[in-house]
Structure 1
């Protein structure tokens, strides 16, 4: 079944259809939550809040956007709300699910260096303005097209491109080695 058929089944109370629908978008939604919150525990909480929110608000889903885009919007808002509530997002919880493309089993790079890289990326992401951080996370970790990000952020595609460009530039500056 396609997303529209699953949504219709969900609206009739079919929990299995909802599980299948959410399962299709779980991984990118998880990565969005993880990159915004900065740790797996908060990401789990944000993802759970997003799934509950999606189920409770399914009647409000108009179908103007794809279901995955709508779920990412709910997840982004849940993650941002959690970050605002929990100002301390500096805990480090490194797993192979962290989505940074770092192989923690790679013998060529010592584990402590990998942990340092993960921590540096998280710290740099947390220093970006919220609009930039959300745009770059949705583009890089959720793999959303610019049009979907624009819809999510309620801005133009040109604004999204600018935010992502500036986010990348700021991340490069924040992650550049400092010379003393």
Structure 2
């Protein structure tokens, strides 16, 4: 497979310090890495910090990457860990910062406004989930982890992952419905 060979070549070059190869290696995963950080952290600024920490950690540890998993699995694990580290040391965000982010981030285009509204509703609903449920759901839906990969990451049996995902989806749906009721 040509893309696997290309990825292997980029990996080898990046391990030797080639920044262009590093950028090309991670390019296919950049949006999903961002999604993992954003969905886990819940705040754009925290997610930006988590993504920055992720890219630095990947770059610094790339020579140690042994290839026991795919580069994407390894990168997503680093992203998840970086985001969780940010959450653990997060300070409370003030209302003024939230308002400023809303004003500067707001687009006049209604499609963007609607997309932002949906994203915000989903993010608020995700924040209601326990960390185990949220992490499992984010890894499955935004990082495309398999059940086995999530089980390995969370150090639980696959059946526990299935249960967590089922319960997380149910709780997420309930939280979204509750938000909808409040907005009416």
TM range (shorter): 0.7 to 0.9
- In structure 2, what is the Cα distance between the partners aligned to 1:69 and 1:37? 19
Quote the offset at 1:20 in angstroms.
0.7
Matches within 5 A, 1:48-127: 48-88=52-92, 91=98, 93=101, 105-106=110-111, 111=113, 117-127=118-128
Quote the offset at 1:13 in angstroms.
1.6
Q: Which residue of structure 1 aligns with residue 43 of structure 2?
A: 39
Quote the offset at 1:35 in angstroms.
0.5
- In structure 1, what is the Cα distance between the partners aligned to 2:126 and 2:93? 11
SS in 2 for 1:57: helix
Q: Which residue of structure 2 aligns with residue 4 of structure 1?
A: 8
Quote the offset at 1:47 in angstroms.
0.6
Root-mean-square deviation (CA), in Å? 2.7
Quote the offset at 1:147 in angstroms.
2.5
Equivalent pair of 1:125/1:133 in contact (CA under 8 Å): yes
Q: Which residue of structure 2 aligns with residue 152 of structure 1?
A: 153
SS in 1 for 2:110: coil
Question: Would you tell me which structure has more helix in proportion to its own residues?
Answer: 2
The worse-fitting range, judged by mean Cα deviation, of 62-71 and 83-92 is 83-92
> What TM-score do the two structures reach when normalised by structure 2?
0.78
Aligned pairs, how many? 168
**Deviation digits for residues 13-53 of structure 1, max 9, x if unmatched?**
22111111111210111000010111222211111100000
Quote the offset at 1:84 in angstroms.
1.5
**Deviation digits for residues 57-88 of structure 1, max 9, x if unmatched?**
11222211111111011011111111111143
> What TM-score do the two structures reach when normalised by structure 1?
0.80
SS in 1 for 2:77: helix
Q: Which residue of structure 2 aligns with residue 19 of structure 1?
A: 23
Match of 1:29 among 14, 27, 33: 33
- In structure 1, what is the Cα distance between the partners aligned to 2:9 and 2:156? 29
Unaligned runs of 5+ in 1: 98-103
- In structure 2, what is the Cα distance between the partners aligned to 1:2 and 1:89? 43
Unaligned runs of 5+ in 2: none
**Deviation digits for residues 139-163 of structure 1, max 9, x if unmatched?**
1122222222223323332222111
